[in-house]
Every structure is written in structure tokens, then in C-alpha cells.
Amino acid sequence: MHKAIALKYLSDLSDLLESNYDADHFEDALLINHAKGQFLLNYHGVMDQIWFSSPLSGAHHFAYQDNQWLCTRTGRVLEDILRYDLDA
């Protein structure tokens, strides 16, 4: 349902992060190599979600609602969690 939105989101996010981080974008995934470890975001088609794996905050699943990716457990916006982890 939201595959095209998710893939564009990951591509745009990669473009934003490339100037400050070692970010590798694949069709449905974004790998960020950081001094604190590797962060992985990928589109999970079966669940129609973006999944985020962080060495700092753990695993998160995000569903597309109200034009943003929201954590299915906490309701937090994906960018907020990613920004917090990368800046921690």
C-alpha cells in the first residue's frame, strides 16, 4: 500500500544523511555506518512498514499515518528517534 512512499522516503533520507554520515542506500533499505554502530532502516512489504534497527534504542516498526512514519509502539515520529540516536 505504501511501498512507493516508503522507498522515496528512504531515498530522500539517504540524500540528507550522506553529507554527514556514511550512508548506503539500496532499493528498500538504508544502512548508516556510525561510530556507535550500524543503523538499518528497511521497508518490510508484508507489514507495509519501515523497520529500524538501532544499536542504541533497539528495534522499531513504523506505520505510515497522517503523512508521517509513526512508531507502532510509542507513536513517535521516525525522524525524531533516528535524530536522537545519531546525536546521542
Tens of pLDDT, residues 28-84: 999 999 999 999 999 999 999 999 999 999 999 999 999 999 999 999 999 999 999
Asked if residues 70 and 77 have their Cβ atoms less than 8 Å apart, the reply is yes
The DSSP code for 59 is E
At 79 the three-state DSSP class reads helix
The cell for 82 is 533516528
- Residue 9's Cβ-count burial label (10 Å; 0-12, 13-18, 19+) is buried
- Domain CATH for 10: 3.30.920.10
The count of domains in the chain is 1
Which one-letter DSSP state was computed for residue 2? -
Distance CA 79, CA 81 (A): 6
- Residue numbers of the domain that contains 76: 3-87
Q: What is the pTM of this model?
A: 0.92
Q: Express each pLDDT in 14-34 by its tens digit.
A: 999 999 999 999 989 999 999
